[in-house]
Amino acid sequence: MRAILFIFRSSSIITREIIFFVCAKPQTKVTRLSTKGQHQQLVETLSEWIEQNLDKRIVIDDIAKRAGYSKWYLQRLFKEVTGDNLASYVRHRRLMRAAAELKRTDKKIMDITLQYGFESQQTFTRAFKRRFGTSPGVFRQAPSSMYEN
């Protein structure tokens, strides 16, 4: 089964309609989603893309261009669907990946800092402490069960 995402724009009124073509057999079934469903699907698609690109430089302008929306509208839409703003979501996912990397590898903290797009180890440590309540070094040495959830 294959799903293809299409976003259409009207020149007079900006209209966005997501249509999924589900191709299981030679016949094609078309399902129209409600606006809420469209937004949910868009956020899920963007979340998957973000997840695949956490180790690259991710700029909200690039995400907005990819989605076909202005960055302000996209951020509002993302917060409406997830309850979290886009920049916080990206930072949270990077910190979660970095935490996993700290636990399962012996990489230097500075290498992990740079791998996940933090400008300095100080910035990374500050964000990490805010999220996990401890420094990356202490987190790495602590038993895994202390920080689950």
DSSP letter string over the chain?
A: --EEEEE---SSS----EEEEE-SSSS-EEEEPPHHHHHHHHHHHHHHHHHHTTTS---HHHHHHHHTS-HHHHHHHHHHHHSS-HHHHHHHHHHHHHHHHHHH----HHHHHHHTT-S-HHHHHHHHHHHHSS-HHHHHHS-GGGG--
pLDDT tens-place string over residues 14-57: 333 332 323 333 443 434 446 778 889 999 999 999 999 998 98
pLDDT tens-place string over residues 90-106: 999 999 999 999 999 99
The whole-angstrom separation of Cα 60 and Cα 44 is 16
- Residue 97 CA, chain-centre distance (Å), reads 12
pLDDT at residue 36, rounded to an integer:
78
Q: Is 3's pLDDT higher than 50?
A: no
Q: Is 62's pLDDT higher than 60?
A: yes
In what order do the strands lie in the sheet containing 18-22? 3-7, 18-22, 29-32
Q: Is 137's pLDDT higher than 60?
A: yes
> Domains in the chain, please, with CATH?
3-83 (1.10.10.60), 90-140 (1.10.10.60)
Task: Give the confidence band of 7 by pLDDT, cuts at 50, 70, 90.
Answer: very low
Q: Who wins on pLDDT, 128 or 145?
A: 128
pLDDT at residue 147, rounded to an integer:
55
